[in-house]
Amino acid sequence: MKKILLTCFFIIVSNAWINAQELKSPDGNLILTFNLNTEGAPIYALAYKKKEVIKESRLGFILKSDIKMNKGFQIAGTKKQSEDSSWKPVLGEQKEIRNQYNELKADLIQEKSKRKISIYFRLFNDGLGFRYEFPVQDNLRHFVIQEETTEFNLTGDHKLFWIPGDYDTNEYSYTTSKISEMQSLMYNAAHVSMAAQTTIKNLATQTPLMMKTNDGLYINIHEAALKNYPAMCLNVDDKAYSLNSHLVPDAVGNKGYLQTGSFTPWRTIVVSDDARNILASKMILNLNEPCAFDDTSWIKPVKYIGVWWEYFTGGGSTWAYSDDQDVVIGTTDFSKLKPNATHGANTKHVKDYIDFAATNGFDAVLVEGWNEGWEDNTAFKKERIYSFTKAYPDFDVKDLSLYANQKGVKIIMHHETTSSIAEYERQLHDALDFMVDNKYNAVKTGYVGPIIPRGEHHDGQQMVNHYTYVAKEAAKHKIMVDSHEAVRPTGLHRTYPNWFAQESARGTEFEAMEGIHPDHTTILPFTRLMGGPMDYTPGIFQGDLSVYGSKKNKLSTTLTKQLALYVTMYSPLQMAADLPENYMRFKDAFQFIKEVALDWDESYILEAEPGDYITIARKTKGKEEWFVGGITDENPRTALIDFSFLPAGKSYSATIYEDGKTADYKTNPQSYNIRKVTVNSKTKLKQKLASSGGVAISIK
Ligand code: NOJ
Ligand code: CA
């Protein structure tokens, strides 16, 4: 019986692929097949080293109202071309990136309606990218997408590292499970407290989605160059092991307004039998457009501290200046309000931070709670919550700008919009001018709470356009942008390198709220970071928050693992998030944060398994200097660090920051040891990592 079934399957499969177009990756390991099936539906399949990765899967769209652009096609023409070039990112994990692929373009036309669509497949050694083009044509101009019908049919019940499909947040904890187990785990995964949350009702997940097959293939599905289009979630069919695109709708349920002469984002499938290659992949960046700016000299990596963690510790510091919640921006005279005496962003306190930054070599100080409006900020009800040009009475903008400048430190501007978008866009130009006038060169934006205009979603087309608009306008003022709660990144930092980091995932703030699992940071590089750098804000040394009085939270890592995150979580923007006083208690460990680089000539993924461990070495840009970071989940392990990334024939001094012998993230997180050893390209180090521990090494 089994045999007969198998034979039938093969006949069906081979029928669909008669006269199929075939495309090979430059190294020949990946093979894409493309064809139309008997209904004239575009179909594709992908194989890696002769193993199926994506089974026959359909492509296309349904336009409003019910115009089917997913079948009835004929192939009007196909074209192949190849590329092999390299380019230099402004900031990055390596100084040069090779862009090598073979491309197949298929022009399709529907027999009756004469509507046209083209599909571009680009096959790299590390994966496949494909996108749709709506060419200019007679029978279609402006149109509305009802749904994109791209499928990713998988070959089995893979292991998934997933968060629930959601239109408004990516800040969930990851669940690791088989596809078939998702449904039973979804309730717990999705029923968590979030400021804005629209979980998809049917079984669905976000991208980047990381998967592992039973026979050891690693597959990552995401998208590249998300512009003027909604983000893609994935519906999951847990019986057929199939995924299909689920675009984020707008307030009236439409999924994108386009004009012909346009492209969709790329759909990306990164594949390897070695998990390290997933982390090393630069395919998503390669699929983005080159840098849009001529002058990028003002775009710099930033290591910063901030008047920030004190708002989360439970120590009483507040963003708000007053306890009077009846404030109205533009009407209330804040100088007449009674100060609450807990306001964090006051001139004196900020000066202390500036001093600390200057003494310890930080580039910048983030100051949250500097501007009018925080009294009423959790209401999410009114459109005008904040002013982005008016400081609180106890925050002296001019004095602080002068003081910071004298000390060679920048202040990072903070714009919490509470997702009131029209209002933010109304204030944006004044806000940008205000920053230039006061010598700010970076802004942290925030999108907490549901979007106003009401009914829109964080990851919909309108918001996607908003984030890029802000990045582009900021660039005109030579301002770098770090957005929190924005749509997950898709490599646009290649095109707009001033949009140099984002949050868009569960970051360190959750250590002081609902918590983070020990395996979280072993998953993030395989998921969220596939699209771009994350402002994860590591560096918490005082992990037991009960010392501050009102909270019971305990950090999910050892102190050493916090150090390692500066290397394993790539970002040209890195925060030392803890309070200065805690760094002064652990001066020798703090030394690593002071030294660690942010911009790299080369990165070497030494060990990696999603959900378990990651070890990465990186060479500082333009310097004979390397940093290594290794982390593990709740299981202690021995990392095998192979130093063959060092130039042969030379010896270097390595400072190793390691978990203490009795370190354990639950019982003894602050136990660490620092030792110096000599290493060369032949050194192989067996390094013990505690439960949710790590290792950080600086090599000179
Ligand atoms: C959420 C951000 O992630 C956090 O960093 C910030 O402090 C708060 N919003 C307030 O803006
Ligand atoms: Ca957040």
Nearest CA to ligand 1 atom 6: 446
Give 378's pLDDT tier (boundaries 50, 70, 90): confident
Count of beta carbons in the 10 Å neighbourhood of residue 31: 18
Alpha helix positions (H), 556-650: 559-568, 580-585, 587-595
Q: What is the pLDDT of residues 384-398, one digit of tens each?
A: 999 999 999 999 999
Overall average pLDDT of the 567-589 stretch: 98
Alpha helix positions (H), 314-379: 347-360
* β pairing state of 573-575 and 302-307: parallel
Is residue 11's pLDDT more than 50? Answer: no
DSSP state string for 454-510: TT--TTSHHHHHHHHHHHHHHHHTT-EEEEES-PPP-STTTTSTTS-EE--S--GGG
Distance separating alpha carbons of residues 138 and 160, to the nearest angstrom: 44
574 bridge partner residues: 303
Question: In terms of Cα–Cα distance, which of 496, 331, 487, 500 is closest to 412?
Answer: 500
* Pocket test residue of 509, 528, 536, 573 for ligand 1, highest count of atoms within 8 A of CB: 509
Overall average pLDDT of the 109-129 stretch: 97
Name the 3-class secondary structure at 581.
Answer: helix
Answer yes or no: are the C-beta atoms of 211 and 156 closer than 8 Å. no
Is residue 449's pLDDT more than 60? Answer: yes
Amino acid at 454: R
Is residue 369's pLDDT more than 70? Answer: yes
Residue-level pLDDT at 15: 74
Give 14's pLDDT tier (boundaries 50, 70, 90): low
Is residue 8's pLDDT more than 50? Answer: no
Overall average pLDDT of the 478-500 stretch: 98
**Mean pLDDT across the chain:** 97
Is residue 357's pLDDT more than 80? Answer: yes
Name the 3-class secondary structure at 527.
Answer: coil
CA of 411 relative to ligand 1 center, distance in Å: 17
Which of the following is catalytic: 375, 423, 509, 658?
A: 509
Q: What is the pLDDT of residues 293-316, one digit of tens each?
A: 999 999 999 999 999 999 999 999
Q: At what angle do helices 347-360 and 397-407 cross, to 10 degrees?
A: 10
Q: For residue 485, which atom of ligand 1 is closest to its CA?
A: 3
For 263-300, b/e burial (b = at least 16 CB within 10 A) is bbbbbbbbbbeebbbbbbbbbbbbbbeebebeebeebb
Give 16's pLDDT tier (boundaries 50, 70, 90): confident
CA of 446 relative to ligand 1 center, distance in Å: 6
Ligand nearest 385 Cα, by number? Answer: 1
Amino acid at 335: S
* Pocket test residue of 368, 385, 414, 443 for ligand 1, highest count of atoms within 8 A of CB: 368
**Which segment of 11-20, 63-72, 457-466 scores lowest on mean pLDDT?**
11-20
Is residue 550's pLDDT more than 50? Answer: yes
CA of 311 relative to ligand 1 center, distance in Å: 10
Is residue 211's pLDDT more than 90? Answer: yes
Residue-level pLDDT at 39: 97
Catalytic residue status for 416? no
Q: For residue 414, which atom of ligand 1 is closest to its CA?
A: 11
CA of 303 relative to ligand 1 center, distance in Å: 18
Q: What is the pLDDT of residues 78-118, one digit of tens each?
A: 999 999 999 999 999 999 999 999 999 999 999 999 999 99
Residue-level pLDDT at 661: 98
For 194-207, b/e burial (b = at least 16 CB within 10 A) is bbbbbbbeebbbbb
Nearest CA to ligand 1 atom 7: 308
Q: For residue 312, which atom of ligand 1 is closest to its CA?
A: 7
Q: For residue 311, which atom of ligand 1 is closest to its CA?
A: 7
Give 451's pLDDT tier (boundaries 50, 70, 90): very high
Please report, for residues 305, 387, 404, 425, the alpha-carbon distance to residue 384 in angstroms, rounded to integers and kept in the order given: 29, 8, 30, 12
Distance separating alpha carbons of residues 66 and 63, to the nearest angstrom: 6
Half-sphere exposure of 334 (CA within 13 A, CB side): 23
Overall average pLDDT of the 24-33 stretch: 98
* HEC letters along 379-417: CCCCCCCCCCCCECCCCCHHHHHHHHHHHCCEEEEEEEC
Please report, for residues 20, 176, 313, 542, 674, the alpha-carbon distance to residue 577 in angstroms, rounded to integers and kept in the order given: 54, 28, 11, 11, 21
Give 1's pLDDT tier (boundaries 50, 70, 90): very low
Token couple for 520: 């979280």
Answer yes or no: are the C-beta atoms of 558 and 587 closer than 8 Å. no
Q: What is the pLDDT of residues 643-678, one digit of tens each?
A: 999 999 999 999 999 999 999 999 999 999 999 999
Rg of the chain's alpha carbons, rounded to an integer? 26
Q: What is the pLDDT of residues 220-252, one digit of tens each?
A: 999 999 999 999 999 999 999 999 999 999 999
* Residues whose beta carbon lies within 6 Å of some atom of ligand 1: 308, 368, 416, 446, 448, 484, 503, 509
Give φ, ψ of 9 to 5 degrees.
Answer: -55, -45
CA of 253 relative to ligand 1 center, distance in Å: 29
Q: Which long-range contacts (CB under 8 A, 24 or more apart) does 460-463 make?
A: 460/167, 460/230, 460/231, 460/248, 460/249, 460/250, 461/228, 461/229, 461/230, 461/248, 461/250, 461/255, 461/256, 461/257, 462/250, 462/421, 463/421, 463/487
CA of 649 relative to ligand 1 center, distance in Å: 48
Residue-level pLDDT at 2: 43
* Pocket test residue of 376, 413, 416 for ligand 1, highest count of atoms within 8 A of CB: 416
Q: At what angle do helices 587-595 and 559-568 cross, to 10 degrees?
A: 0
Residues 6 or more apart whose Cβ sits within 8 Å of residue 564: 629, 630, 631, 694, 695, 696
Overall average pLDDT of the 526-548 stretch: 98
